[in-house]
Structure 1
């Protein structure tokens, strides 16, 4: 009984640790969550639609893309393009979730894995990967940050929707830069040294090149795959030299 209680306490402690680690970025999530709520009201979404999309989809970039395609007339809603756009934008989660595989047991735990993947965002993924590098990463840490991100996103979406009539131009308040600022902060937080420079440069160049050649959000996946490939090759060579 004591061992079971101890494990639960330990998991809860890691959950809180993940939430605390993600608190600074949750503020930024709230900022562009506010923007999305304002834009969603302007696009004609109802409060119920905003609540369902934010609560179930929980993917900021895909939701911003959805607003560009949204129409208030149900019969004219482009369901196919909406699904395809969300799929393309969120393909990067194939890469993100793959890096989290070491957190899960080799056998079993499929249900827990699927549930926790719902709470994966770019922000708590970055914090969890950084924690894994320090030997502190865990599923509870990941979920703790994800739950906080969900609360920040859902709450500010609803607030933004309510304020939609008073904030007609989010850029006047600097809220349009919150999304970019968040990812710049995450990027700097993941910098480990000059060894990261080449993969990052390759990822950036691949993303820029892909964006000029292919329409849509394929540049996100292209940059991520190119940078990951270079990073994997460099890591493999490093292990060979050390052995």
Structure 2
């Protein structure tokens, strides 16, 4: 039975918002770096600054936005863009499900406000905090706001520099995404007995899917394969 949170209790306490923002600040700075890359690409594709920032606030999913901007041309291939972005973002179903204990007893509006700002970065930071018993919806939202601020600032800077910035990969900016995920993985690692098999299976499934499937389906393939192995392992441990 779910525990109902008292109506007088704040769902997003100011102290938790501040702590979540602090713990995600370093990642927000890195997110800003690859926001610059997206902004530069978007400017070259003809997106107006308002369109770019509006998409960033509404979608708030960097990988999906890279896919959408990569497909951006006139006339817009709407169906292809929607399907591609949906495939990339399906992983958020699993990520949001993992955060369900954080929102037990909370009203729907609080759940929607919290999960809208779930990104890979603040999700990983929040999951690590949950394992330490130090997370609540305010912590998640504070981290999300920090990452969103960095993302939009980076996108705006990249858009302004788009006309004069050389190809992002020549500056090494494209490695920023990889660097972020390596940091996140280190924070989520518990021990080899519990994590080695799911992570290895996820990597193999993702690499295989990338080789044989078009588009970004390898993201979902890796996530589902790793989650399945983790669920089986946890079930056997519980038994």
TM-score over 0.5 for the alignment?
yes
> What is the SS of the residue equivalent to 2:174?
helix
For the pair shown, the structure with the greater C-alpha radius of gyration is 1
Counterpart-to-counterpart distance in 2, 1:124 and 1:189: 12
1:18 corresponds to: 20
2: CA distance, partners of 1:135 / 1:112:
20
Q: Distance in 2 between matches of 1:217 and 1:173?
A: 25
Aligned to 1:80: 79
Instruction: Give the equivalent residue in structure 2 for 1:67.
Output: 69
Counterpart among 41, 58, 61 of residue 60 in structure 2: 58
For the residue of structure 1 that corresponds to 2:135, the secondary structure is coil
Q: Please point out which of 123, 131, 134 is paired with 1:133.
A: 131
1:102 maps to which residue? Answer: 101
Equivalent of residue 161 in structure 1, options 159, 174, 194: 159
- Give runs of aligned pairs for residues 89-238 of structure 1, distance below 5 A: 89-106=88-105, 109-195=107-193, 196-238=195-237
Matched residues in 1 for 2:104 and 2:237: separation?
Answer: 27
Q: Which moved more, 1:201-210 or 1:8-17?
A: 8-17
1:33-52 equivalence runs, <5 A: 33-52=35-54
2:69 and 2:98 map into 1 onto residues whose CA distance is 30
Structure 1 distance, partners of 2:107, 2:11, is 20
Runs (4+) off by over 4 Å: 6-10
Return the alpha-carbon distance in structure 2 between the equivalents of residues 19 and 237 of structure 1: 37
State the Cα deviation string for residues 160-191 of structure 1 (Å, max 9, x = none).
11111221222232211000110011001111
Give the total of aligned pairs.
Answer: 232
Deviation at 1:200, TM superposition (A): 0.5
Change (3 A) 1:10 1:120: closer
State the shift of 1:211 in Å. Answer: 1.8
> Partners in 2 of 1:237 and 1:104 — Cα distance?
27
SS in 2 for 1:175: coil
TM-score (norm 1): 0.91
Any unmatched runs of 5+ in structure 2?
1-5
Are the structure 2 counterparts of residues 10 and 29 from structure 1 closer, same or farther at C-alpha, using a change threshold of 3 Å?
closer
Q: CA deviation at 1:92?
A: 0.5
**Whole-Å Cα distance in 1 between the matches of residues 53 and 139 of structure 2?**
26
